[in-house]
Structures are given as structure tokens and as C-alpha cells.
Amino acid sequence: MSFTKGKSGNPNGRPKGTYTKVSVAQREFLREFLLESKPKFLEQLEKLSPIEYVRTYMSLMQYVVSKPTTTELKEVPKLEEFIAMTPEERQVAMEEIRESINKAKAELQEQR
């Protein structure tokens, strides 16, 4: 029996959002592992330098907070706004722009 493109032998198929038995088992294993490892993780986290702590925190955030869409991203300040800023505000704005560029570069490299 052959199938036509876009039609399967089971038109209802597996409902979206349901997991295979293997992925359910994997998720349960990881859940238990993470719960058991939590005290050790927190202990190790306290030993990190401030910069390592922030890096770890930021790397974990991607699993908690979804990445913003293009429309949600903060716009670059207009030239007039940039000129009106204090030197400290300009430095912060420039650092945010640098970080977003570096992040975009890193994401592109990961995709390759």
C-alpha cells in the first residue's frame, strides 16, 4: 500500500506535544538526576568567581526564559538620544550593542 504525499496511514497520528516512550524515560531520568544533584550544584555555584557565576546564570537562563523575537529586541538608540546621554549611559548602550552583536555571532557559529 502506497501513501500519497501529505497523507499517512494513520490520519489522526500522534497528537502534537506528546512524547515517545523513550523521550519520557529520558526526561524522567534527567529530572531525577537534576533533583538529586541540586545540593551539590548549589554548593559548587557558591565557589564560582563573580564572573563565572554570571556566565553560568546567563547560560541557564536560556532554558527558563524564551529568546526574544526580532520585534521584541531593544532598538538601538537614535543618534539624538545617544548624543544626549551621559558618558556613562553611552558606555552602557555601547556595551549592550557589543553584547548583542557577539551573541548573534556566537549563535551563527553554533548553527554552522
- b/e 42-78 (16+ beta carbons within 10 angstroms → b): eeeeeeeeeeeeeeeeeeeeeeeeeeeeeeeeeeebe
Cell numbers at residue 17, please?
A: 506535544
pTM: 0.39
pLDDT per position as a tens digit, 76-92? 667 778 788 898 988 88
CA distance 110 to 81: 34
Task: Give me the residue spans of the domains in the chain.
Answer: 20-65, 69-112
pLDDT per position as a tens digit, 6-33? 666 677 777 777 777 778 888 899 889 9
pLDDT of residue 76: 62
CA distance 39 to 53: 16
pLDDT of residue 79: 75
CA distance 112 to 107: 9
